[in-house]
Amino acid sequence: MTADMLDQLTIESFEPHVGTSFWLRNNTQKVELRLTRAARVMESEAARLNRTAFSLYFLGPVLLPQQIYRLTHDGFSEPLDLFLVPIGKEAAGFNYEAVFT
């Protein structure tokens, strides 16, 4: 998905997909990232932006370095190139955040 198309996505684009799996392929494997939450950024921070800023939170089985990943999902016609940042670890796996401003 081109940057222009990513600019058109809103939190409402992702809310129906919370709890579902997104997939990324790295060099050797296909990795499942489950979208665990979609949340708005604080309103005071978002007021100066063209769209309401939001974050997506994913849970995955392996630790991935901070970088852009191409994710696919049945609900989107094209892959999404998202900058994922690892933000923590829990018993079920590793948590990642992607911020849309």
Question: In terms of Cα–Cα distance, which of 56, 42, 46 is closest to 6?
Answer: 56
**What does the pLDDT read at residue 27?**
76
Percent of the chain's residues with pLDDT above 90: 68
**What does the pLDDT read at residue 44?**
54
**What does the pLDDT read at residue 8?**
84
- Cα atoms in the 13 Å half-sphere on the side-chain side of 27: 1
Question: In terms of Cα–Cα distance, which of 82, 91, 87, 73 is closest to 6?
Answer: 82
For 76-95, write each residue's pLDDT tens digit.
999 999 999 999 999 999 99
**What does the pLDDT read at residue 55?**
94
Listed by start position, the domains of the chain span 3-100
The pTM of the full predicted model, rounded to 2 decimals, is 0.84
Query: What is the Rg, in whole angstroms, of the alpha carbon atoms belonging to the chain?
Result: 13
Higher-confidence residue: 48 or 11? 11
Look-up: residue for tokens 């309103």?
43
Question: In terms of Cα–Cα distance, which of 74, 10, 60, 66 is closest to 38?
Answer: 10
